Amino acid sequence: MNIYKTSGIEPGKAICYSGFRDGQHPGAVYPSYAQVREDLLLLHGHWKYLRLFDCDQHAETVLEVIQREKLDFRLMLGAYIGAEMNNFNCPWNGGVYSEDQLETNRAHNQNQIDKLIKMANDYPTEIFSASVGNEACVEWTDHYVPESKVLDYVRQVRAKTKQPVTFCENYVPWLLKLDQLAKEVDFISIHTYPVWEYKHISESLDYTKENYYAVAKKFPDKPVVITEAGWATNSNGRGINPENVNERYQQIYYELLMEWSAKENILAFFFEAFDEPWKGSPEPLEPEKHWGLFTLDRKPKLAIRNLYKNKP
């Protein structure tokens, strides 16, 4: 079974989009209309599906640009939900909060779910799917939300919207737990990052296929979508060997992933469109900053340079 037969979604190129530039980050300074328009015009005609991570001002601007400029995109819109439980397994400085903060987060999360429902109903043509969270159940997350609460959010959104509803998560929790959640979502969304798991580029596609088919085999009656898969182009050594990342390796993985997913009729969102300087540590080569197919100044990297060879 695949998602197209159950939800009417047609195959197409898909990419994760977050347009934050120098001096911008979520919750503070957001990209302007002109900046989002510039980004979307770069992506238009090459990618059909965009994944957005939050029901924030950035998402509102993206939807405004798409409507005003009459751009042919379909969006997976996500609600970003924060920690509702402490996670003492988080390997970095995060994951543990005061009870007051957790209670504040729970109220904020419900507000985000309400906003996701409203936006999905306000933009039924542009938004093809709604996701109730991102990497909130995996063992290393700093924003842990128990499966039972994610399940409640899924049920709320399914009851009040017409779009298919999902939850975006690393492939491992789908294999080890989340069985009840898998039954309730309209399709399962997985993340697969071979380079984060110390795989060489020569192992990259085989490992992604292994991740994907393991989840698909466990849930044979449920469509499975890849909502994140990518290859960084720089690293300071934090979590990724610098020898394993460069633009050539990103190009190889991108081309292999696109060829395989198209052949198998799998919707696969590449992570991500643009480098984002606000992510991770302040170090310039922090790998979190370097997953884009475009550099921060909107220049195409090697993987997609051929798409823009005639542009100045």
DSSP string across 101-143:
HHHHHHHHHHHHHHHHHHHHHH-TTTEEEEEEEES-SSTT-SS
CA 123/CA 142 separation, integer angstroms: 31
Q: What is the DSSP letter of 50?
A: E
According to the model, what pLDDT value does residue 1 have? 47
Structure tokens belonging to residue 74: 């379909």
CB 229 within 8 A of CB 270: yes
CA distances from 200 to 212, 218, 231 (A): 18, 26, 11
Q: 40, 20, 39: which is closest to 28 by C-alpha?
A: 20
pTM equals 0.97
According to the model, what pLDDT value does residue 284 have? 95
According to the model, what pLDDT value does residue 3 have? 64
Q: 56, 36, 46, 41: which is closest to 15 by C-alpha?
A: 46
CA distances from 18 to 13, 154, 292 (A): 17, 23, 10
Walking along the chain (312 residues) 10 residues at a time, the average pLDDT comes out as: 65 95 97 98 98 98 98 98 97 93 98 98 97 98 98 98 98 98 97 97 98 98 96 96 97 98 96 97 95 98 94 64
According to the model, what pLDDT value does residue 93 have? 82
According to the model, what pLDDT value does residue 309 have? 86
Question: Count H helices, E strands: the chain?
Answer: 9, 8
CA 190/CA 173 separation, integer angstroms: 9
Peptide bond into 272 cis (omega under 30): yes
CA 162/CA 71 separation, integer angstroms: 22
CATH assignment of 3-78+162-300, among 3.90.1150.10, 2.60.40.10, 3.40.640.10, 3.20.20.80: 3.20.20.80
According to the model, what pLDDT value does residue 11 have? 80
* Helix H or strand E segment including 51: strand 49-52
According to the model, what pLDDT value does residue 5 have? 67
CB 159 within 8 A of CB 40: no
Torsion of the alpha carbons at 282, 288, 293 and 295, rounded to the nearest 10: 0
Q: 114, 106, 176: which is closest to 145 by C-alpha?
A: 106
CA 290/CA 288 separation, integer angstroms: 6
